[in-house]
Amino acid sequence: MSEEKKLTIEEAFAKLDDTIKEMESEDVTLERSFALYKSGMEMIENCTKEIDLVEKKVLELSGNGETHEF
């Protein structure tokens, strides 16, 4: 994702929702659909990485070596 500021997970999900709505539009061209798809997949990949990082931090915070599901 080549944006100047890094999006929060919430902002990225909102942008993904907008992307999906635009892709579902009857007026979207095939070329635009491919561009939206690529952008959406990049956002999903970035969100997955961020969620994984947060999950690792939570597991580290559990302290005494035990892992807890949340």
Residue 12 near residue 43 (C-beta atoms within 8 A): yes
Q: Is 43 helix (H, G, I), strand (E, B) or coil?
A: helix
CA distance 29 to 43: 21
Residue by residue, pLDDT tens for the chain (70 residues) are 444 478 888 999 999 999 999 999 999 999 999 999 999 999 999 999 999 988 888 777 666 666 665 5
Q: Answer whether 0.75 is exceeded by the pTM.
A: no
40: its two tokens: 């959406």
